[in-house]
């Protein structure tokens, strides 16, 4: 399903409500929410709605989608830091309910195994909410990725390493990422992709109108029985 909203604000309202609905329907929901600029407003609205409706997140589990390798959780710009400030702290989520990749771990393979085991035990994920990279990546599933992989370590595309600088105050060496695999994302009960702005228009056109293949990992979402693609008018400009 594709929905096109007149404004980023309206898109964010809808995405926020999707998260709230998931938790209302299942107070023990397992959520996987992407970091990034796109869902920022949706998360603010979601937290405001949760507070307004006295909705408890006590039983909810959060699984990290991805992280920059070499960037610790305390660094502004890490995916963990982003979600911690916007969601975990405001909703008083306990540490035990958060399963996130540590990009500073000495053994990154063990990190992947830990998250794979967590998903096996607690999953499948009920709702995964993702943004899209301008090269079509989802999480850090870059173009060409094997869609059968679980959690894995990725050599970042030059585009991703470049665009990723926007999250950090100082220039960072971004060469690798650690990410859930497409198979884990696709096994989620629902997958919501959000994209806004003209900078996403070309890749959204490829995602929606091109072949479904690992050349544009986001295109796989078209095959998901509960896949939702939420766009503002600008991101939908080339459809
Ligand atoms: C980043 C992250 C993704 C994110 C995407 C889009 O590199 N790895 O998880 O969803 O790119 O980011 P933004 O929403 O800032 O455009």
Residue by residue, DSSP assigns 200-211 as GHHHHHHHHHS-
List the chain domain ranges.
Answer: 2-181
- Condensed to tens digits (0 to 9), the pLDDT of residues 19-74 reads 999 999 999 999 999 999 999 999 999 999 999 999 999 999 999 999 999 999 99
Ligand 1 pocket test target in 11, 32, 33, 35 with most atoms within 8 Å of CB? 35
Measured from the CA of 139, which atom of ligand 1 is nearest? 9
Ligand 1 centre from 164 Cα, in Å?
Answer: 8
Provide the token pair at 116: 């794979």
Measured from the CA of 200, which atom of ligand 1 is nearest? 16
- Helix or strand run (H / E) with residue 62: strand 61-63
- Condensed to tens digits (0 to 9), the pLDDT of residues 134-178 reads 999 999 999 999 999 999 999 999 999 999 999 999 999 999 999
pLDDT tier at 202, thresholds 50, 70, 90: very high
State the Cα–Cα distance between residues 92 and 81, nearest whole angstrom. Answer: 14
- Helix or strand run (H / E) with residue 10: helix 8-25
Ligand 1 centre from 66 Cα, in Å?
Answer: 9
3-state SS of 128-156 is EEECCCCCCCECCECCCCCCCCCCEEEEC
pLDDT for 118 equals 98
Let me know if domain 2-181 sits in CATH 3.40.50.1360.
Answer: yes
Locate tokens 């986001």: which residue? Answer: 218
Measured from the CA of 37, which atom of ligand 1 is nearest? 15
Ligand 1 pocket test target in 12, 36, 174, 218 with most atoms within 8 Å of CB? 36
- Condensed to tens digits (0 to 9), the pLDDT of residues 78-134 reads 999 999 999 999 999 999 999 999 999 999 999 999 999 999 999 999 999 999 999
């Amino acid at each position: 399903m594709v929905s096109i909203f007149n404004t980023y604000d309206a898109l964010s309202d809808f995405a926020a409500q999707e998260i709230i609905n998931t938790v209302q329907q299942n107070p023990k929901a397992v959520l996987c929410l992407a970091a990034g600029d796109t869902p920022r407003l949706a998360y603010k609205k979601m937290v405001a709605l949760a507070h307004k409706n006295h909705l408890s997140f006590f039983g909810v589990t959060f699984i990290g989608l991805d992280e920059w390798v070499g960037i610790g959780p305390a660094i502004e710009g890490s995916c963990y830091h982003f979600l911690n400030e916007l969601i975990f702290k405001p909703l008083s989520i306990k540490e035990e309910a958060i399963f996130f990749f540590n990009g500073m771990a000495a053994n990154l393979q063990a990190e992947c195994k830990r998250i794979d085991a967590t998903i096996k035990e607690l999953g499948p994920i009920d709702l995964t909410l993702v943004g899209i990279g301008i090269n079509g990546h989802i999480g850090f599933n870059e173009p060409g990725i094997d869609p059968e992989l679980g959690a894995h370590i990725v050599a970042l595309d030059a585009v991703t390493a470049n665009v990723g600088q926007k999250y950090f105050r100082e220039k960072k060496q971004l060469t690798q990422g650690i990410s859930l695999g497409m198979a884990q994302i696709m096994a989620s009960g629902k997958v919501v992709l959000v994209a806004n702005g003209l900078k996403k228009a070309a890749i959204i056109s490829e995602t929606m109108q091109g072949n479904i293949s690992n050349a544009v990992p986001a295109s796989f979402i078209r095959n998901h029985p509960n896949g939702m693609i939420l766009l503002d008018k600008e991101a939908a400009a080339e459809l």
